[in-house]
Amino acid sequence: MAELCYETINRSPFLTPGFEADLPAQMRAAGKAGFRWTGLDLPSIRQYLERGGSLRDLRSLLEDVGLRCLELQPLILSEDVEATRDEAHAFAEVAAFLDVPSVQGGVVAEPSPALMDSFRVAASTLAEAGAAIALEYLPFNALCSIADTRRFLARSGVESARIVVDTWHFFHGPDEWMDLETLAVEELAYPQFNDAPPLESEDLMYETTQRRMLPGAGRFDLERFSRLILDKGYEGPVSIEILSASLRQETPERFARAAYEASAPYWSR
């Protein structure tokens, strides 16, 4: 069975300003539920540090509950090279201390020469900390598909970067099954797994951050998606990223248990 990764960003101040992330409670709940990996978001880490925690404490906590950190997010890649470099340095510091292999990033502009420069600078900065960029595309951004992201990475020349394929973005964008079938396993950073109901608005940012569902509760063909990923020979962790306003109100224990139990059957072979 593929090992599952618990994502903290659903309970992060990144999505809900002022929200109490409570990383210790989330990490304990995730480990108890059966997760073996976690993805940490930098805004939650910063909140944890502001409340008196330390990276050393966080590393000890992960070890105590049996979790390894798969990735940090979200690194915003813009045309502002200096701003991107500064943010990449912040991610690199945490990645080096926690031994994190990937930093998940996304672009917020068209693939211009300036954006390419920012991407290369970020990749170089993270490489010094032993981390690589896991680039996520979104159906409402400049990179909106697997094909777009493959072209971007080819142009960048950054050989260490890989692609994140999130079920929400895959099923709501221009991708077809053939696009996922032809994506080599070596190009895949990791899949992100979730479900969703039919859209109720044209605000895709709201839909993707507030209305995702537990796997099996929505309309995505998750059986085919997971089978296709496994048939590639993918053996890495699977990120369970369920961004949901309603599930955000659950206790960490109930949310982690429900997310694990709903996701595990799809990745059990």
Residues in the chain: 269
CB pairs under 8 A, 24+ apart, for 173-182? 173/137, 173/138, 173/139, 173/144, 173/145, 174/139, 174/144, 174/145, 175/145, 175/146, 175/147, 177/224, 177/228, 179/145, 179/146, 179/147, 180/146, 180/225, 180/228, 180/229, 181/228
Angle at 54 between CA 190 and CA 45, to 5 degrees: 40
Integer Cα distance of 226 and 221 in angstroms: 9
- Number of neighbouring beta carbons within 10 Å of residue 174: 12
What does the pLDDT read at residue 157? 96
Q: Using CA atoms of 5, 248, 255, 31 in order, give the dihedral in degrees to the nearest 10.
A: 40
Three-state DSSP at 142 gives coil
Residue 125 structural domain: 4-267
pLDDT tens, residue order, the chain (269 aa) = 899 999 999 999 999 898 999 999 999 999 999 999 999 999 999 999 999 999 999 999 999 999 999 999 999 999 999 999 999 999 999 999 999 999 999 998 889 999 999 999 999 999 999 999 999 999 999 999 999 999 999 999 999 999 999 999 999 999 999 999 999 999 999 999 999 999 999 999 999 999 999 999 999 999 999 999 999 999 999 999 999 999 999 999 999 999 999 999 999 97
Radius of gyration (Cα) for the chain, nearest Å?
17
- Number of neighbouring beta carbons within 10 Å of residue 94: 21
> Residue 195: which residues within 8 A CB-CB, separation 6 or more?
167, 212, 213, 214, 215, 216, 217, 218, 219, 220, 222, 242
What does the pLDDT read at residue 1? 83
- CATH code, domain carrying 13: 3.20.20.150
What does the pLDDT read at residue 4? 98
What does the pLDDT read at residue 37? 98
What does the pLDDT read at residue 174? 97
Structural domains of the chain, count: 1
Through-space distance between the first and last CA atoms of the chain, rounded to whole angstroms: 5
